[in-house]
Chains A and B, each alone.
Chain A
């Protein structure tokens, strides 16, 4: 019982911390030059990412994560 309560309290604390942390994070619009670079995009080469997802989907039991894990081929 105590453990559940502690869990709830710590989750609440974590969410509050994350929320307040997020509002303090970030940059002003004019500080985005580096972040706007193509090589700073989370998926900077979508073609390569797509090919890799297809290889690993065909060879391993996991898929998805950065995008949909779907299917789309008979390779697994």
Chain B
């Protein structure tokens, strides 16, 4: 209510400002309600204001190259970002991101001493892993396009609001989101309180349908394959909703130090499984195949699709400090603690040192991430747990992203100021991830269940 009044007041102020300039009062009085109507549409709002109030555009274009070792995932991601800052503090931002992914991703199954064959997610083909190899789903290929618009503006001397909309589309996934925020300044703008709310509605529609959690993967060539495949699928599409709330305090400490503390709450609800992930069932019966893949009546390995809870609540606590040294260099450090009701908690430390060298700068970057596993994370399912097809639990996932993990990123960025408003920059980083957990038994114990994964990140950017 207060926000609406304030928005209206803001428009009134703008109308008043416009009248004496042009003298065409009646024409602008007509524009005022039109402006108010346009504020409902973010895009419209930005454009309407653009005609009223000149400001400066700033553009950033960048391309990210991401490549994992062992020919796993590689991605190319160009970004176009345009920001207009108006004379009285309003900021309009448009962002476009494209994303092309190719390569292979671990499907969750354990490596084995024999060749393993899996059905592709669509059910139309198969892929396999050689003995001793981490099974990778190589059917993974996707293109994503995302667009967002954000608007922020002062309401008066102490209050600021923001609003934004977001849309992202890939072959089998659609995400639409809205967000809004309020900021209140205190203490001569040395303290700012932020409150933000974001809502996102996502739809996942994988080719071949969404797998039913803990159902058995039908193996190509088995009798009644199509019937069995269909039995492993639930709906052709599923939804999830995500609500995020963010509370933040930003505090100027002194002329060289600024600090921020945020608390974030995120609630996800709906289909939270990864439809491309499975778990191996491992034989526990004493004998030659102890620790090997459990076989079904057709002598095929048994794999179950993963099943996660249908809701997740995450809490994050984020602290960041920036400090300018006497020589002009900047130290940027942050720490995040996250915990959720899946039993995961994580620590993220991030440190950057910006070494200003006149027209250029160098910025070394170090990031350390430590995560504990989800309660339902299992590297594999035992024959006993499988219980002849009636598992003794409701949820299980072998997704490596839910395991005990630590990761280090080391990077270096170089930027060069061509002119006051133009900069080119290059960034190279190396990301190393290692996982740990249950090392298996019998034959499984000789397999590498937690191979490290590494990735290189390159980014080239130009701002003008």
- Are B146 and A73 in contact, CB atoms less than 8 angstroms apart? yes
- Are B369 and A69 in contact, CB atoms less than 8 angstroms apart? no
Q: Mark A23-54, 1 if CB is under 8 A from B, else 0.
A: 10111110111110101101011111011001
User: Chain B nearest CB: distance from A14 CB in Å?
Assistant: 13
**Residue of A28, A37, A61, A70 touching B188 (CB-CB under 8 A):** A28
- Are A69 and B144 in contact, CB atoms less than 8 angstroms apart? no
- Are B196 and A65 in contact, CB atoms less than 8 angstroms apart? no
In B414-456, which residues have CB < 8 Å from any A CB? 425, 427, 431, 433, 455
- Are A72 and B175 in contact, CB atoms less than 8 angstroms apart? yes
- Are A74 and B264 in contact, CB atoms less than 8 angstroms apart? no
Judged by DSSP, the binding face of B is: strand
Instruction: Decide yes or no whether B100 CB sits under 8 A from chain A.
Output: no
Given the interface pairs A27-B190, A70-B177, the reply to whether A65 lies near B348 with Cβ below 8 Å is yes
- Are A66 and B255 in contact, CB atoms less than 8 angstroms apart? no
- Are A42 and B322 in contact, CB atoms less than 8 angstroms apart? yes
- Are B401 and A60 in contact, CB atoms less than 8 angstroms apart? yes
Instruction: Decide yes or no whether B62 CB sits under 8 A from chain A.
Output: yes
Instruction: Decide yes or no whether B198 CB sits under 8 A from chain A.
Output: yes
In A7-27, which residues have CB < 8 Å from any B CB? 22-23, 25-27
- Are B258 and A35 in contact, CB atoms less than 8 angstroms apart? yes
- Are B191 and A22 in contact, CB atoms less than 8 angstroms apart? yes
- Are A64 and B266 in contact, CB atoms less than 8 angstroms apart? yes
Instruction: Decide yes or no whether B200 CB sits under 8 A from chain A.
Output: yes
Given the interface pairs A61-B344, A71-B268, A73-B144, the reply to whether A26 lies near B401 with Cβ below 8 Å is no
User: Chain B nearest CB: distance from A35 CB in Å?
Assistant: 6
Instruction: Decide yes or no whether B195 CB sits under 8 A from chain A.
Output: no
Bound CA span A33–B62, Å: 28
Sample of 4 more A-B contacts, CB < 8 Å, known A48-B427, A62-B348 = A51-B79, A60-B371, A66-B262, A74-B170
Give residues in B with beta carbon < 8 Å to A.
60, 62, 64, 66, 77, 79, 81, 95, 97, 99, 101, 142, 144, 146, 166, 168, 170, 172-173, 175, 177, 179, 187-191, 196, 198, 200, 202, 204, 240, 242, 244, 246, 250-256, 258, 260, 262, 264, 266, 268, 274, 314, 316-318, 320, 322, 324, 330, 332, 334, 336, 338, 340, 342, 344, 346, 348, 354, 356, 361, 369, 371, 374, 401-402, 405, 407, 413, 425, 427, 431, 433, 455, 457, 459, 461
**Can you list 10 A-B contacts with CB-CB less than 8 angstroms, sorted by A residue number?**
A22-B187, A22-B190, A22-B191, A26-B252, A29-B189, A35-B324, A40-B322, A60-B371, A61-B374, A69-B266
